[in-house]
Amino acid sequence: MAAAPTFYVVPGSTVKSVIEAHRSQVFEAVKAAYHFHASGDSINPDSYFLRYPDKPDARIIALPAHLGGSVQKSGIKWISSFPQNTIGNLARASAVLIVNDATTGYPLACIEASLISATRTAASAALAAEHISPKPFGGSLGIVGTGVIARTTVEWLLFRGWQFSKIHLYDKERQEAEHFSNWLRGQHKFKADIQTSVDDVISNASLILFTTTTLEPYVGNERLFEHAPTVIHLSLRDICVNVILASQNIVDDVDHCLKAGTSLHLTETAMGNRDFISGTLVDVLNKKCTLDDRTRIFSPFGLGVLDLAVGDLVLKTAIASNSAIAFPEFFSNSARW
């Protein structure tokens, strides 16, 4: 008789230690997940948004997915974004990842996923940055929005070997930029310049990260991009239509990126077509997309399959090291008779 699986809980402290000890494996898992997805060996439905009429900047998102290949897991990430949390020094985002066995459908684990989410976002950003930049691993870095995602992305860029001559910061809350600057100085012995405008960051950087919580585009001056920087547009809604059209656009998944009021979605609505999309990141990796001398913008919607890829690695490693909390009788009523 088939037995129900042991159910595990993996706390944030374990997730953190696994990721820090296995960064190379995490990076390769993210890269592999992109390839599985591009080859059709995945299922990645639309994300579902729970929004609050009285709190328009707050939301909770459900990202269901199935990842094949060497992973063969299904699951769902349930992640909230409440920007007002930061006023009380509480993290904006919190999340759990439920991982299911793809054969029986039984849940296998509940994993604290805010770090998994930030990690897969940052690792994919680093992967894109080194493949769409004309001169990767050097130059100056500009960061617009100095929260956890920006911090995690910088960690992954440095892990991958980037060496920056300058780092420019901007946040609409200057205190947040100062916290970030202090972190850079304390953790990485790097003195950053805090700028007074987004324009100054863009003009002075060869690699630009947008990691804000903005709901509407506000960056519309094409002349700021005359030096053709590489842009990692993680927050998806900062850049105006005219700048999108003047740039080369790379995405993680075309259908996912052109919805939910993203800059790309607004551009499609304005133009009536998707001709401004050059291809996906996997197209770039497989050399099916030729990069040109315009500003290159990578806009990743954030695929649930990436959470599964990192979550599967974390879960297997935590179980192997006895650092996952086991609940062997969690499914005590699983027998039919």
Question: Token pair of 32, please?
Answer: 């592999």
Residue pair 227/199 in contact by the 8 Å Cβ criterion: no
Residue pair 60/78 in contact by the 8 Å Cβ criterion: yes
Residue 128 lies in a domain: no
Q: Is the pLDDT of residue 265 over 80?
A: yes
Three-state DSSP at 253 gives: coil
Q: Cα separation of 80 and 62, whole Å?
A: 9
Is 74 in the same domain as 216?
A: no
If one counts the domains in the chain, the total is: 2
Is 287 in the same domain as 311?
A: no
Residue 201 lies in a domain: yes
CA distances from 51 to 88, 116, 118, 261 (A): 21, 23, 21, 14
pLDDT digits (tens, 9 = 90+) for 173-202: 999 999 999 999 999 999 999 999 999 999
Is 295 in the same domain as 312?
A: no
pLDDT digits (tens, 9 = 90+) for 52-109: 999 988 999 999 999 999 999 999 999 999 989 988 889 888 999 999 999 999 999 9
Domain that holds residue 51: 7-116+304-327
Residue 32 lies in a domain: yes
Is 86 in the same domain as 150?
A: no
Residue pair 96/113 in contact by the 8 Å Cβ criterion: yes
Is 82 in the same domain as 146?
A: no
Q: What is the 3-state secondary structure (H, E, C) of 173-240?
A: CHHHHHHHHHHHHHHHCCCCEECCCHHHHHHCCCEEEECCCCCCCCECCHHHHCCCCEEEECCCCCEC
Instruction: With CA atoms as reference, report the closest residue to 125 among 287, 301, 278.
Output: 301
pLDDT digits (tens, 9 = 90+) for 18-52: 999 999 999 999 999 999 999 999 999 999 999 99
Residue 185's pLDDT is 96
Is 216 in the same domain as 87?
A: no
Query: Dihedrals φ, ψ of 175, to 5°?
Result: -60, -35
Is 270 in the same domain as 308?
A: no
Is 207 in the same domain as 291?
A: yes
Is 16 in the same domain as 72?
A: yes
Residue 1's pLDDT is 54
pLDDT-based confidence at 333, cuts 50/70/90? confident
Q: What CATH number did the domain enclosing 213 receive? A: 3.40.50.720
CA torsion through residues 326, 327, 329, 332, sign: negative
Q: Is the pLDDT of residue 169 over 70?
A: yes
Mean residue pLDDT of the chain comes to: 96
Residue 130 lies in a domain: no
pLDDT-based confidence at 297, cuts 50/70/90? very high
Three-state DSSP at 44 gives: coil
Q: Quick one: what percent of the chain has pLDDT higher than 90?
A: 91
pLDDT digits (tens, 9 = 90+) for 271-291: 999 999 999 999 999 999 999
Residue 167's pLDDT is 98
Q: Cα separation of 125 and 246, whole Å?
A: 21
Residue 124 lies in a domain: no
Residue 334's pLDDT is 82
Residue pair 146/177 in contact by the 8 Å Cβ criterion: yes
Is 153 in the same domain as 285?
A: yes
Q: What CATH number did the domain enclosing 38 receive? A: 3.30.1780.10
Is 155 in the same domain as 28?
A: no
